[in-house]
């Protein structure tokens, strides 16, 4: 595609909920009125200054925003680039998930709902949901794949500590995709009293749009902060990891009209954009890893938060028009990336963001002297037990 023709505008989907050909609302009839009600409620809340003030106050006084930028002088020098991190790992609960959850749970309360349902992969969205539910006095049920319960046991305990109920998803691959199925089944049965708090820019309209709006605070802050430390310029490259794609959309949204390369890094075993084809699951049309008959394939990633065969529809759109690119890295590269940031900068990243680190390290020879802004979407505490098993005695 001619770079001149690449769209540089953030889309607001219309009534059909589409980003280009992607998105939509492919849900059971039972849920259609609930999605319509949510769309109305969100639009009203988002244009209500009282709601926005209440949310901003929570983000500031509870989540700890704005998150800072940290320049990686050591790693930057080592790689021959200027590397700056947006520190979403420093938010309360340890990741970017809290941005969207505070917005959604406030909205749920405004809509008169009594109960929150959430799905979770790594457990970060589950912990954020349990946290917001505790703060705002709502009941909370989190669905989590049985495989993930095993590898993220620390977060399971945190959710329980916060008063949430954690239910294992035992069907299919027993990971994030199946947790989403279970959450949707619960929602079909409890739609009158429950709010489904989706963990990423995915699902039926208005979720992909709404979650992006809630996460856009990352990009808004980052653009301004970056310009302050870099003499008013924008980064050459913005990098984020992509599971469903919410932390990536959050930071991309601030740079969509900038002269900046947008890079979303997928795991090699869950490369929906990179290796998928258009399909429909979990309420949306988007790129999907599937077989010739449309059966959804199981993703395989070292990181539970990226172990998902689909991707948010706006990423499919950005890829299809050439505005963003979606390379992938394998598990071994991720392990190296994880160690690299820890050793060079004293920052242990979540395994999800170690994907972004891995891509940057690999790409470095081609981007010498460039400025790179990476979204550090979460901290690595939750992954330490898993990495202990993997790295074991190899550390010296």
Partner 1 sequence: MKSAQHKPGALETRLRQTRDTGRKILVPYITGGLTGWIDAIRGAAANGADAIEIGIPFSDPVMDGPIIQMASEKALRDGATPISILHELRGVDVSIPLIVMCYYNTVFRAGHTRFANSLREAGVVAAIVPDLPLEESAHWCESADSIGIETVMLAAPTAPDERLPRVVERARGFVYAVGLLGVTGERTELATTAVAMATRLKKITDMPVLVGVGVSNAAQAQQACAVADGVIQGASVVRRLLDEGADSVAQYVGEVRAAIDTPVSTNR
Ligand X SMILES: Cc1ncc(COP(=O)(O)O)c(C=O)c1O
Residue 17 vs 250, nearer CB to ligand X: 250
d(CA 119, CA 105): 14
* Distances from the Cα of 180 to the Cα of 136, 232, 306, angstroms: 23, 42, 13
Residue 82 vs 285, nearer CB to partner 1: 285
b or e along 205-225 (b: 16 or more beta carbons within 10 Å of the residue's beta carbon)? bbbbbbbbbbbbbbbebbbeb
By CB under 6 A, the residues from 218 to 277 that bind ligand X are 241-248
Judge residue 353's burial from the number of C-beta atoms within 10 Å of its C-beta, 0-12 exposed, 13-18 middle, 19 or more buried: buried
Contact (CB, 8 A) for 367 and 237: yes
Is residue 350 at the binding interface for ligand X, with CB under 6 A as the rule? yes
Given ligand X, partner 1, none, residue 305, with its beta carbon under 5 to 8 Å by kind, binds: ligand X
Residue 76 vs 349, nearer CB to ligand X: 349
- The contact mask relative to ligand X for 302-331 (x = CB under 6 A, - = no) is ---xx-------------------------
Instruction: Dump strand ranges (E) for the chain.
Output: 18-19, 22-26, 69-71, 82-87, 115-120, 139-145, 165-169, 194-196, 237-241, 261-267, 277-281, 283-288, 324-325, 328-329, 371-376
- The contact mask relative to ligand X for 189-218 (x = CB under 6 A, - = no) is -----------x------------------
The binding site for partner 1 (CB under 8 A) comprises: 16, 24-34, 171-172, 177-178, 181, 184-185, 188-192, 278-283, 285, 288, 290, 292-296
Cα-only R_g, the chain: 19
Is residue 181 at the binding interface for ligand X, with CB under 6 A as the rule? no
Residues with catalytic function: 72, 96
Candidate ranges 8-16, 33-41, 282-290, 348-356; the one touching ligand X (CB under 6 A): 348-356
Please report how close the Cβ of residue 95 comes to ligand X at its closest, in angstroms. Answer: 4
- Judged by CB under 6 A, the number of residues near ligand X is 21
Q: In 3-state terms, what secondary structure has residue 85?
A: strand
Q: 361, 362, 392, 375: which is closest to 90 by C-alpha?
A: 375
Please report how close the Cβ of residue 108 comes to partner 1 at its closest, in angstroms. Answer: 17
d(CA 373, CA 240): 9
d(CA 28, CA 109): 24
Please report how close the Cβ of residue 219 comes to ligand X at its closest, in angstroms. Answer: 13
Is residue 169 at the binding interface for ligand X, with CB under 6 A as the rule? no
d(CA 53, CA 37): 22
Residue 282 vs 323, nearer CB to partner 1: 282
Residue 83 vs 251, nearer CB to ligand X: 251
Given partner 1, ligand X, none, residue 246, with its beta carbon under 5 to 8 Å by kind, binds: ligand X
d(CA 109, CA 112): 5
Given partner 1, ligand X, none, residue 125, with its beta carbon under 5 to 8 Å by kind, binds: ligand X
Token duo for residue 12: 């607001």
Residue 180 vs 258, nearer CB to partner 1: 180
- In the complex, the residues that contact ligand X under the rule CB under 6 A are 95, 121-122, 124-125, 200, 241-248, 305-306, 350, 352-353, 377-378
């Amino acid at each position: 595609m001619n770079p001149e023709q690449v769209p540089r505008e953030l889309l607001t989907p219309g009534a059909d909920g589409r980003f280009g050909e992607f998105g939509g609302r492919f849900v059971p009839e039972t849920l259609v009125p609930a999605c319509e009600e949510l769309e109305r409620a969100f639009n009203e809340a988002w244009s209500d200054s009282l709601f926005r003030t209440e949310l901003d106050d929570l983000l500031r006084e509870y989540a700890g925003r704005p998150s800072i930028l940290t320049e990686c002088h050591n790693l930057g020098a080592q790689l021959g680039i200027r590397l700056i991190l947006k520190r979403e790992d420093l938010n309360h609960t340890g990741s970017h998930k809290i941005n969207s959850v505070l917005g959604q749970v406030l909205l749920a309360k405004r809509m008169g709902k009594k109960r929150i349902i959430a799905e979770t992969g790594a457990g970060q969205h589950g912990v954020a949901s349990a946290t917001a539910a505790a703060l705002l006095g709502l009941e909370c049920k989190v669905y989590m794949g049985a495989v993930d319960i095993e590898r993220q046991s620390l977060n399971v305990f945190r959710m329980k500590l916060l008063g949430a109920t954690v239910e294992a998803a035992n069907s299919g691959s027993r990971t994030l995709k199946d947790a989403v199925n279970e959450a949707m089944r619960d929602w079909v049965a409890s739609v009158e009293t429950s709010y489904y708090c989706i963990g990423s820019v995915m699902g039926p309209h208005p979720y992909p749009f709404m979650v992006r709006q809630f996460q856009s605070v990352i990009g808004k802050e980052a653009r301004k902060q970056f310009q302050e430390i870099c003499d008013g310029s924008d980064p050459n490259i913005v990098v984020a990891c992509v599971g469903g794609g919410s932390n990536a959309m959050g930071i991309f949204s601030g740079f969509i009209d900038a002269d900046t390369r947008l890079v979303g890094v997928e795991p090699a075993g869950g490369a929906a954009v990179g290796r998928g084809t258009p399909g429909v699951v979990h309420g949306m049309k988007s790129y999907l890893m599937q077989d010739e008959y449309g059966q959804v394939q199981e993703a395989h990633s070292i990181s539970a938060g990226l172990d998902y065969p689909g991707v948010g529809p706006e990423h499919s759109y950005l890829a299809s028009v050439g505005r963003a690119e979606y390379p992938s890295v394998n598990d071994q590269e991720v392990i190296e990336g994880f160690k690299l940031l820890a050793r060079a900068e004293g920052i242990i990243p979540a395994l999800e963001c170690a994907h972004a680190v891995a891509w940057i390290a690999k790409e470095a020879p081609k981007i010498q002297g460039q400025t790179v802004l990476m979204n550090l979407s979460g901290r690595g505490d939750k992954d330490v037990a898993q990495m202990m098993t993997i790295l074991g005695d190899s550390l010296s």
